[in-house]
Structure 1
Amino acid sequence: MRRWGRGGLAVLLAVIVVARCCFGHDLIVRVSDRRNVSFGEMMKDLARARVIYAGENHDDPEHHLLQLRIIRELHRAGLPLAIGMEMFTAADQKELDRWVEGKTGLAEFRAFYLRNWTLPWSLYGDILLFARDNRIPLIGLNVPRQITRKVAATGFASLTPEERRMLPPAVTCDVDSAYMAMIRRSFSNHDANPRTFKNFCEAQMLWNKAMAYHLAEFVRKNPRRTVVVITGGGHALRGGMPAQAVKENPALAGRVVLPDPVIPPGSITPADGDYLWISH
């Protein structure tokens, strides 16, 4: 995939320097033309999308504040919303529905959250409370962690018929060169263990394909809702979950918002995402 040349990088870096001096704490770069845009300009564009993929580094509180700002603004604009979350599985849907309907207390739901996701409640609590307080549906997108761990260890072919229930029929490590490079970087950052790169890649693709499948199923049943997808930056990259969602439904290409440092400012292209959001 073609990356920006030296001239393009110089333009982007100059935009970053000027924006940090003159536009306050947040810098939003529209990747298509490398221009700094306001939050309002970005939101006008996002409001036209069927799906907004809002990437994150899971443990960065700033990234979750940015996600919540997007959700709040879309809600304020009167759009019927849903929030898709990597942090919950499709099997969790009844519990998510009970929370949004106000049938589950805070202490009980916090315990449920912590059984699904190991990071502190404080990182996602404001998003989950906003969804409950405004009756915004939450969508469990993921598959059980033990399934992806098994695929990472022994490959997709090792799954039993029961384990494949509610999963895509086939998973292969078939991605474009840019996304393959990202998966290789991720693999190299993991501790050495017996699993092969092929199995690791299949596990990542299972994650992307399954989340795309569950997203597409929700949109099919709820065609009028705009969905904000909360997921790790590696999945939010256009070559990740969005590419798989397009295979399920071309209307799910959506918009991709990536916060720094999910991807280095000098290397992002329109093939990766639509907006780069740098805070503070």
Structure 2
Amino acid sequence: MPSRHAPTPPSSSPDANRRRLNLALGLAAGGPLWLGSLAAQAAALPPLPRYTQPVEAHSPLVGRILQSGQQFIAPQQLVSDCAHAALCMLGEQHDHPDHHAVQAWIITALAQRGDLAAVALEMADAGQRFDGPRDAPEAVVRERLQWNDDGWPWKLYAAPVMVAVRAGVPVVGVNLPQDAMRPAMQQARWDASVPPAVRQRILDDVAESHCGLLPASQLPAMARIQFARDDSMAAHSLALARPGKTVVLLTGSFHANRTLGIALHLAAHAAQTPPGVAQPLAVFSLLLQGLAPDTQAELPAGYDAVWFTPGTPPIDHCAELLQMMQGEKPSGQPKP
């Protein structure tokens, strides 16, 4: 199921929003003590990424990280939280350059700590893997992973993937292979792989993300692909787990939602947990969220933390999808 921009609520006064954000940031930061410790914590980290996108680029939320309990945390704490999980999911907007820059930064920080077991990719099929050498050129890495540049533009993913390669960390595809997707559409067993309420939510999301252009009769089959993909990413990410280290999974924000996506399928593969890895598997989910003018300082349900970045310019994905269904070439940017 394609990822998409989430609908935004009606805008309120920009000045009022800015006042609320400033107040929230001031209260959550904990005053001068928190700010004073931030420099010391950041000294042990690689340089933070530079943001490139224009939407809300000057918002006080840009670069801030909010965790459960509505508390803002320093990047050092985020890295530590990720490192203490066996699986750390980084839920992205696929076409957002700043999200991939943040992913590369997190991978670098974890590698410097010696805490990184592997980097798992939704963007490559299960069975595709790169294990070195560290100095391999990008073309070799892409070939080994059988990278699909049409679906996943390499220019967006080169930074996080190559950071892992240069660190000597395995980079592994975990997505459902293309030739398994059509059979999954016919397998009714996937309907019961998630709770009924989650299945209905996925059905609704499939309809919405396809802009109401799919016949209702196709929705169950499309939802089964979603469940099968989440199951594949769960199983193959779990197989990469190592005691005392974390697997970083790059995936879409919907898949990274602990209440809807990959996390729901981990228990089904518990028997395949590598020796020494505790069960239930410790999972941490970070949402990478591009800002809109009316974004609130809130942690969406299903995530352990959210890292705010500038937003990308809006694209009419429904118009693009309609063009594709009519056999025309879309005029916009890659879908998120």
Query: Which residue number in structure 1 is paired with residue 168 of structure 2?
Result: 135
The offset of 1:147, in angstroms, is 2.2
Q: Which amino acid aligns with 1:119?
A: W
Query: Which residue number in structure 1 is paired with residue 95 of structure 2?
Result: 59
CA distance in structure 1 between the partners assigned to 2:239 and 2:99 by the alignment: 27
Assess if the C-alpha contact under 8 Å between 1:85 and 1:140 holds in 2: yes
CA distance in structure 2 between the partners assigned to 1:140 and 1:214 by the alignment: 8
Is residue 227 of structure 2 the alignment partner of residue 205 of structure 1? Answer: yes
**Aligned-residue CA RMSD in angstroms?**
3.3
The offset of 1:83, in angstroms, is 0.5
Is residue 281 of structure 2 the alignment partner of residue 252 of structure 1? Answer: yes
The offset of 1:210, in angstroms, is 1.2
Aligned residues: percent identity? Answer: 23
CA distance in structure 2 between the partners assigned to 1:120 and 1:47 by the alignment: 28
Alignment of 1:53-132 (within 5 A): 53-93=89-129, 96-97=130-131, 100-102=132-134, 105-111=137-143, 113-115=146-148, 118-132=151-165
Query: Which residue number in structure 2 is paired with residue 14 of structure 1?
Result: 20
Assess if the C-alpha contact under 8 Å between 2:191 and 2:199 holds in 1: no
TM-score of the aligned structures, taking structure 2 as reference length = 0.64
Q: Which amino acid aligns with 2:162?
A: L
How many pairs align?
Answer: 248
Q: Which amino acid aligns with 1:228?
A: V
Is residue 301 of structure 2 the alignment partner of residue 274 of structure 1? Answer: no
The offset of 1:241, in angstroms, is 0.2
Query: Which residue number in structure 2 is paired with residue 28 of structure 1?
Result: 65
Contiguous gaps of at least 5 residues in structure 1: 1-9, 158-169
TM-score of the aligned structures, taking structure 1 as reference length = 0.75
Assess if the C-alpha contact under 8 Å between 1:50 and 1:225 holds in 2: yes
Of 178, 184, 205, the match for 1:145: 178
Assess if the C-alpha contact under 8 Å between 1:15 and 1:36 holds in 2: no
User: What secondary structure, in the 3-state scheme, does the structure 2 residue paired with 1:273 have?
Assistant: coil
Between stretches 246-255 and 13-22, larger displacement belongs to 13-22
Between stretches 175-184 and 52-61, larger displacement belongs to 175-184
Q: Which amino acid aligns with 1:70?
A: I
User: What secondary structure, in the 3-state scheme, does the structure 1 residue paired with 2:64 have?
Assistant: strand
Task: Please give the per-residue CA displacement for 1:16-61, whole angstroms capped at 9, x wherever unaligned.
Answer: 765398967312111x211222212222222221111101111111
Question: Which of the pair has more CA radius of gyration?
Answer: 2
Of 154, 164, 172, the match for 2:191: 172
Assess if the C-alpha contact under 8 Å between 1:131 and 1:138 holds in 2: yes
Query: Which residue number in structure 2 is paired with residue 231 of structure 1?
Result: 251
CA distance in structure 1 between the partners assigned to 2:224 and 2:23 by the alignment: 39
Distance 1:243 1:28, change over 3 A: same
Contiguous gaps of at least 5 residues in structure 2: 1-15, 26-55, 271-278, 311-336
Q: Which amino acid aligns with 1:187?
A: A
Distance 1:268 1:24, change over 3 A: closer
The offset of 1:206, in angstroms, is 0.4
User: What secondary structure, in the 3-state scheme, does the structure 2 residue paired with 1:216 have?
Assistant: helix
Distance 1:247 1:203, change over 3 A: same
CA distance in structure 1 between the partners assigned to 2:176 and 2:149 by the alignment: 11
Assess if the C-alpha contact under 8 Å between 2:24 and 2:297 holds in 1: no
